[in-house]
Amino acid sequence: MEAEVRTPPTICGMGHRMKRKEDARFLFGKGRYVDDIKLPGMLYMDIVRSPFAHARIKSINAERALAMDGVVAVITGKDLEKYNLHWMPTLMGDTQMVLPTDRVMYQAQEVAAVIATDRYIAADAVEAIEVEYEPLEPVIDPFRALEPDAPVLRTDKGKTDNHIWHWEVGDREATERAFQEADVVVKQQIYIPRIHVASIETCGCIADYDPVEGKLTVYMTTQAPHVVRTALAMVAGHVGLSEEKIRVISPDIGGGFGGKVPIYPGYVIAIAASVLLGKPVKWIEDRSENLQADSFARDYHITAELAATKEGKITALRIKTLADHGYTDAAANPSKFPAGLFSICTGSYDIKHAFVEVDAVYTNKPPGGIAYRCSFRVTEAVHAIERMVDVLAQKLGMDPAELRFKNFIQPDQFPYKSALGWEYDSGNYPAALRKAMDLIGYEELRREQAERRARGELMGIGISSFTEIVGAGPSRHFDILGIKMFDSCELRIHPTGKAIARFGTKSQGQGHETTYAQIIAEELGIPAEHVQVEEGDTDTAPYGLGTYASRSTPTAGAAAAMAARKVREKARKIAAYLLEVSEEDLEWEPGVFRVKGAPDKSVTIQDIALAAYTNHPPGMEAGLEAVHYYDPPNLTFPFGSYICVVDIDKGTGQVKIRRFVAVDDCGHVINPMIVEGQIHGGLTMGFAPAMMEELVYDEEGNILTGSFMDYLLPTAVETPRWETARTVTPSPHHPLGAKGVGESATVGAPAAIVNAVVDALSPYGVTHIDIPITPYKVWKILHEKGVV
């Protein structure tokens, strides 16, 4: 089902599979990523990192490094302390070291920085710096962190234990009662491991301070340049960096996925170095630094319980979670949501009672708690509920599809108020699951499975019927550092009828230069080819909160539509003047105002644009432009149903995904080609943590997966051949009926895969497997359960 296409291909509004406007520069090798930028006199920064997870720094000796040809400076925490810049706030109101003055808190933490004339010399100098450490007892296991005799990590904050915060939502007592009255209760421990987004471009920046103008320009791999500018002004205002003198430029970004939202110490050190030296300083981390020190995602230890009637009607959900945040809470959630949107965990089901609590702890691991292509902990929530529904189905001996149909929120229940407080905007869950089942041939697969089981073969079918929550957010609930989570579009129509549109978001591959142009084409009838889209320069773009959490279409996409409609209203006035009729006598079709009843009397949007500068009505301001800051009335709730079929090799434990059908519903589609691409990529980033990826630490806090040698990203060989389809249930409150789609598949896919593997092994008493499902893990289960 395609969205209704209202414009001809010459205009290329919504619903067209328009080829991307941004492609050419990337295909010709002319993309402009941060490491491609070279400034005159630029210096290079490299970083000394801690070999210990927890240690006291006894001394740092930089003499040998400073004596090397080409080494310009060495910066330590003591140097930054003079300016009170050795600590910085995190987005969650915690504090993080820029460079340490006394203690290091995780392996690979920044200890000192070298500035040199060449990146090779900087790397040599890093080796020449001598740091003496006194190792301290590390706290690695988050459960150990809560034991009374565990070393207290954040004594700097006056803490007496390692507990960060407790957060709860829902009705504890009513949920308790529902559990007491239930026919059936299932309970499962689910660990959602620590993983890393590992975008193929790592993080980096060029800080360029002009001592004469007092202006700082920072080219930075950031998904949220405006927030970075404001944060820099807040943190470094006392050393003279005032917001109007800070320009953050986010050039082409080689993938973000949430990993380029935080402000990492490396950025701040490079800025400090540039200010101190008065020269541009480039810092580009390598892959090991990226995996070992940048924000991780997930790391949730979940205990989930479902209560149900014996007929399979779910009556209550209860979840208790321990969140390992590393040594500081550097999540990138909206301020009021320490556990993000985890309370979407009632999922696609009409569950009357629910109670969720999360406790966060400090450990000697890198800080974070960011998303991995996910809207603030939604993957954790979806994984928990979609796993639990299968655990319950297994307990009841019921088909997992049947159990889902029995408990789905029904189409006539929308808008639906969930037990944990969300108002779901729209959905048709049975239709999506039915479509997925038809596409994959569900009943036939179940028959095949029965035959294979009889022969002792291991085949499994797994379902995930997820609901997402994206597009933060309504500003009454959502802010970052107090800044409300609206987003913006500034649209100008030139005299020749071409346009430029600037946004507060920042594409990292999502195709904004094309989709935003299509939205404006849809609303104004100006060909999308003629709409230039710009983002990422805080000196020119309107303020916005950036691109993450699938928020660009729900917020900035809506802002584009609203700005275009403002332009159209002014255009109507000009058209009425040009045609010498009243505004009410005009009707609009894409790109043209016509006089009602006299359709040959018309003016095009291009005629109107020219008139706006050459012949505008007396008393009217010249020009044709508009700005809109869009504050969504609600979040949007994309959903979908995925079905995965696996075969397991008994000899090796290898799981082979035979088929994977994904039916997604993101409301009205702007560009079906781009949406499919987003889903392909999202599915692969769902497959990856389900089967391959995990950041693993030993008991001393040494990272065991610190490079692509050990942190496995899927290649084209492992990645399944995705089959995608769509249903369309528009959002009732979004101006275009759209919902956001970049992360749905990452959120929904892992549970379908695990459910399939558990289904294959369920005859042998297996009820759960934690991700990643490695061959060794399955092989062990096969042996423990006596399958082989």
Partner 1 sequence: MATQKVTVTLTVNGTTHTAEVEPRLLLVHFLREHLNLTGTHIGCDTTHCGACTVLMNGRAVKSCTVLTVQADGATIKTIEGMAENGQMHPLQEGFHVEHGLQCGYCTPGMIMRAAELLARNPDPTEEEIRWGISGNLCRCTGYVNIVKAIQYAARKLREREQAAAGS
Q: Which residues are marked as active site?
A: 223, 373-374, 743
Question: Is the Cβ of residue 485 or residue 662 nearer to partner 1 in the bound state?
Answer: 662
CB 431 within 8 A of CB 421: no
Binding range to partner 1, per CB under 8 A, among 237-245, 267-275, 424-432, 678-686 = 678-686
| Residue 56: CA count within 13 A, CB half-sphere | 4
Q: Does 379 bind partner 1 (CB under 8 A)?
A: no
Instruction: Of 355, 366, 369, 432, give the one whose Cα is nearest residue 401.
Output: 432
- Alpha helices (runs of H) in 580-712, residue ranges in sequence order: 605-614, 672-691
CB atoms within 10 A of CB 621: 10
Pick one of 6, 8, 19, 447: the residue that binds partner 1 (CB under 8 A): 19
Distance CA 92, CA 721 (A): 39
Pick one of 6, 10, 30, 599: the residue that binds partner 1 (CB under 8 A): 30
Which residues in 121-150 contact partner 1 (CB under 8 A)? 121, 124
Token pair, residue 463, equals: 């379902």
Distance CA 512, CA 740 (A): 12
Closest distance to partner 1 from the beta carbon of 679 (Å): 8
- Can the peptide bond before residue 730 be classed as cis, meaning omega within 30 degrees of 0? no
Question: Is the Cβ of residue 204 or residue 347 nearer to partner 1 in the bound state?
Answer: 204
CB 419 within 8 A of CB 346: yes
Question: Is the Cβ of residue 178 or residue 644 nearer to partner 1 in the bound state?
Answer: 644
Pick one of 160, 173, 584, 716: the residue that binds partner 1 (CB under 8 A): 716
Binding range to partner 1, per CB under 8 A, among 94-102, 247-255, 313-321, 475-483 = 247-255
Closest distance to partner 1 from the beta carbon of 393 (Å): 29
Q: Does 28 bind partner 1 (CB under 8 A)?
A: yes
CB atoms within 10 A of CB 680: 16
List the strands of the sheet with 592-595, edge to edge. Answer: 586-589, 592-595, 598-604
Q: Does 510 bind partner 1 (CB under 8 A)?
A: yes
Q: Does 683 bind partner 1 (CB under 8 A)?
A: yes
Q: Does 425 bind partner 1 (CB under 8 A)?
A: no
Closest distance to partner 1 from the beta carbon of 685 (Å): 7
**Number of residues near partner 1 (by CB under 8 A):** 60
Q: Does 266 bind partner 1 (CB under 8 A)?
A: no
Distance CA 76, CA 87 (A): 12
Strands (E), 371-527: 416-417, 423-424, 458-467, 479-480, 483-484, 487-493, 499-503
Distance CA 607, CA 575 (A): 9
Pick one of 396, 674, 736, 753: the residue that binds partner 1 (CB under 8 A): 674
Question: Is the Cβ of residue 516 or residue 637 nearer to partner 1 in the bound state?
Answer: 516
Q: Does 9 bind partner 1 (CB under 8 A)?
A: no
- Cα separation values, 12 from 2, 52, 517, 520, Å: 15, 56, 9, 10
Question: Is the Cβ of residue 114 or residue 609 nearer to partner 1 in the bound state?
Answer: 114
The dihedral built from the CA positions of residue 751, 757, 759 and 764, taken in this order, carries a sign that is negative
Q: Does 596 bind partner 1 (CB under 8 A)?
A: no
Q: Does 40 bind partner 1 (CB under 8 A)?
A: no
Question: Is the Cβ of residue 28 or residue 482 nearer to partner 1 in the bound state?
Answer: 28
Binding range to partner 1, per CB under 8 A, among 375-383, 423-431, 490-498, 712-720 = 712-720
Pick one of 195, 685, 690, 782: the residue that binds partner 1 (CB under 8 A): 685
Distance CA 70, CA 124 (A): 10
DSSP string, 218-247: EEE--S-HHHHHHHHHHHHGGGT--GGGEE
Pick one of 6, 10, 24, 239: the residue that binds partner 1 (CB under 8 A): 24
Question: Is the Cβ of residue 264 or residue 362 nearer to partner 1 in the bound state?
Answer: 264
Which residues in 43-102 contact partner 1 (CB under 8 A)? 68-69
> What's the CA dihedral at 338, 255, 714, 372 to 10 degrees?
10
Pick one of 36, 438, 698, 699: the residue that binds partner 1 (CB under 8 A): 36
Pick one of 4, 134, 617, 708: the residue that binds partner 1 (CB under 8 A): 708
Which residues in 174-213 contact partner 1 (CB under 8 A)? 197-202
| Residue 757: CA count within 13 A, CB half-sphere | 30
Closest distance to partner 1 from the beta carbon of 663 (Å): 16
> What's the CA dihedral at 96, 100, 106, 110 to 10 degrees?
90
Closest distance to partner 1 from the beta carbon of 498 (Å): 22
Q: Does 717 bind partner 1 (CB under 8 A)?
A: yes
Closest distance to partner 1 from the beta carbon of 141 (Å): 29
Distance CA 672, CA 670 (A): 7
Closest distance to partner 1 from the beta carbon of 694 (Å): 17
Token pair, residue 767, equals: 């009820």
Residues that bind partner 1 (CB under 8 A): 19-20, 22-31, 33, 35-36, 38, 68-69, 119-121, 124, 197-202, 252-255, 257, 286-288, 508-511, 673-674, 676-677, 680-685, 707-709, 713, 715-717, 719, 721-722
